[in-house]
Structure 1
Amino acid sequence: MTLTTPGTGTRRLTHSWLLTARREDLARFRRLASVALRAWDQPPHVVEVVLHGVTELLANVSRHVDNPRCTLELTDLGGAVRVTVHDRSPVLPRITLPDWTAEEGRGLWLLREMADELGFERTDEGKRVWVRVSSDAGYR
């Protein structure tokens, strides 16, 4: 979403990509997210957590959802950045204390610990999972 036409000095507040979540494409979407974060002049701690969020949320779609078509959205909330993935599965994630010796199962727990907010909800088409990261100067 662009509030006005390009060249007017108003920046784009949302970037959205319709994609098929595949593990081999995660680096590509991290790069696209990185370009948006750079345009928004986000500090390093925000970039780190947002890119982790992009990777984790898309990897979960590729691993756990039968139809990996989804939408990735980055939104500049003014003081925070939100990463949202909309997929077609109604099954909500479960976040439990990880087994630290297991090969997997830690991603959402770690992301929840790093971000200011992690949430999810069912939608008419499946579900939405999001992470919000504060970009305020006084952050940690």
Structure 2
Amino acid sequence: MTLTGQEARAQRLLFSWLLTARREDLAHFRRLAKLATREWAQPSDVTEVVLHGVTELLSNVARHVEDPRCTLELALIGRSVQVTVHDRSSALPKITLPGWTAEEGRGLWLLREMADDLGYALTESGKQVWVRVSGERPDA
């Protein structure tokens, strides 16, 4: 499967999907994200954080947003990959130090620790949450 058309020679810099966030569809969107990072020649450590970001951000929409219709975007910005989810809720995410014996509540905290940037902002129709991972590692 290829993410670009046969006549497209230039590398796509943005992939975007309108979807309904459901836990049973997470593997599908992880596969699409993996194909995008492969097309962008990202190292495996970047890909792993991107896949974790796709899983966590879409899971949070499925779990916490009344209307789970959203947009998932993957963008190549310079040498970084940004995962952004736009949803229809104005409730901002809470990132707190997790209880280590709790069954949930550590996903965004862990993602923030792994990524180069994690943020969120209100929009006219809800909010966007993003995670950015640099393809340029400090030890490279």
TM range (shorter): over 0.9
Distance 1:23 1:132, change over 3 A: same
Q: CA deviation at 1:137?
A: 4.6
The one-character-per-residue Cα deviations of 1:9-38 (angstroms, maximum 9, x if unpaired) are 311000000000000000000001111111
Normalized against structure 2, the TM-score is what? Answer: 0.93
Identity over aligned residues, as a percent? Answer: 67
Please state whether the residue corresponding to 1:119 is helix, strand or coil: strand
1:73 and 2:79 are equivalent in the alignment: no
Give the structure 1 partner of residue 135 of structure 2: 135
Normalized against structure 1, the TM-score is what? Answer: 0.93
The one-character-per-residue Cα deviations of 1:93-124 (angstroms, maximum 9, x if unpaired) are 01000000000000000000000000000000
Give the structure 1 partner of residue 126 of structure 2: 126
Large movers: runs of 4+ above 2 Å: 5-9, 137-140
Number of residue pairs the alignment of both structures matches: 136
Distance 1:67 1:8, change over 3 A: closer
**Which structure 2 residues correspond to residues 1-140 of structure 1 after superposition, within 5 A?**
7=7, 9-139=9-139
> What is the one-letter code of the residue matched to 1:85?
V
Choose 61-70 or 36-45, whichever is displaced more.
Answer: 36-45
Structure 2 residue runs of 5 or longer lacking an equivalent are: none
Q: CA deviation at 1:8?
A: 5.5
Structure 1 vs Structure 2 CA RMSD: 1.4
Distance 1:138 1:93 in 2: 29
Q: CA deviation at 1:78?
A: 1.6
